[in-house]
Amino acid sequence: MPRSYRVAVVGATGAVGKEMIKVLLQRDFPVSELVPLATSRSAGTEVEFKGKRITVEETSACSFDGIDIALFAGGGSASQEYGWEAVARGAVVIDNSSTFRMEDNVPLVVPEVNPHDLKWHKGLIANPNCSTIQMVVALKPIYDAAGIKRIVVNTYQAVSGTGKEAIDELDKQTRDYAAGREMTAEVYPYQIALNVLPQIDAFMPNGYTKEEMKMVNETRKILGDNDIAVSATTVRVPVFYGHSEAVNVETERKLTAAEARSLLSGAPGVVVVDDPAERIYPMPVMAAGKDEVMVGRIREDISVRNGLDLWVVADNLRKGAALNAVQIAEKMMELGLI
């Protein structure tokens, strides 16, 4: 009889945590018992799983006794406090925060791209940044076929990447605008409704934001190639769900748009949505609730010999967070690592 697992979800009441629970159910992950964990503020509330109401517990070190897999959905504070503690108590930890991503002893994994890195895990595996995940899924077949010298990416990221408070703020601002009321901003430094913010996370001394540097560093680590030149500009847009990216890539050898389209059509986790004549291209409204990374606007860059332009869209709460974490656990089961 196939094994089943006691699975803890840390941050179970947040946007990503709720999506993790939904993904576990939808993919029929072999859960013998779900243990939802959160801060003291959310403890005592309930989540639903397989038709049952389960009380959310406050996270503590003892929460991980007897847990097989711990999915950390929330911010870095819980991960810092309990990540390695959960490992010490016998759990395999898959962490969605940025806390451990660049640690040398922690694999940073997208299952369609670098599943082999799971084999050297020490009990804790990092889930990459949402915008990085969808980009490397689209770039992996191109990298394998032609090599990549340089990536320039501009992202257009949904407010759900910030969390429930940002979703609520965009909703309220939109309603206030429609009613002729003044819009107020609390989550972001400026209103997000009817606006775009060219800042995600804090600015670094080099002028890039932390979010942009995540894309630079994580892309190199996932692809295992520190020689790739990467530059990113990350922008928050008034969209609820689904990140979009304009990706320009310079390859080592020439790939035509047709060759790239063929490679992407056969790539795991990718759906090509690309018929400009019929105005068919990926959009966030198409990607919301979907598992696949959608790629369109595939064309050759007319400014450089070995250049390609892609438009890449995915649901940031699913492939960008919850789904990728569950897929890591599934791949570990497949490889006999869990």
pLDDT in tens, 44-61: 999 999 999 999 999 999
Strand partners, 9: 36, 71
> What's residue 76's pLDDT?
72
121 flagged as catalytic: no
Nearby residues of 259 by Cβ (< 8 Å), 6 or more positions away: 145
62 flagged as catalytic: no
Nearby residues of 187 by Cβ (< 8 Å), 6 or more positions away: 162, 165, 166, 169
Both tokens of residue 126? 């990092």
Q: Which of 62, 116, 121, 130 is catalytic?
A: 130
CA 127 – CA 71 distance, rounded (Å):
10
* Local structure of 5: helix, strand or coil: strand
CA 74 – CA 325 distance, rounded (Å):
12
CA distances from 269 to 50, 141, 223, 292, 333 (A): 26, 11, 16, 5, 19
Span 166-213, pLDDT tens digits: 999 999 999 999 999 999 999 999 999 999 999 999 999 999 999 999
Span 241-253, pLDDT tens digits: 999 999 999 999 9
How much is the pTM? 0.95
Q: Where does 5-128+321-334 sit in CATH, by number?
A: 3.40.50.720
Span 133-143, pLDDT tens digits: 999 999 999 99
Domain ranges of the chain: 5-128+321-334, 132-316
Residue 273 has pLDDT above 60, yes or no: yes
132-316 folds as Dihydrodipicolinate Reductase; domain 2 (3.30.360)
Nearby residues of 141 by Cβ (< 8 Å), 6 or more positions away: 263, 264, 266, 267, 270
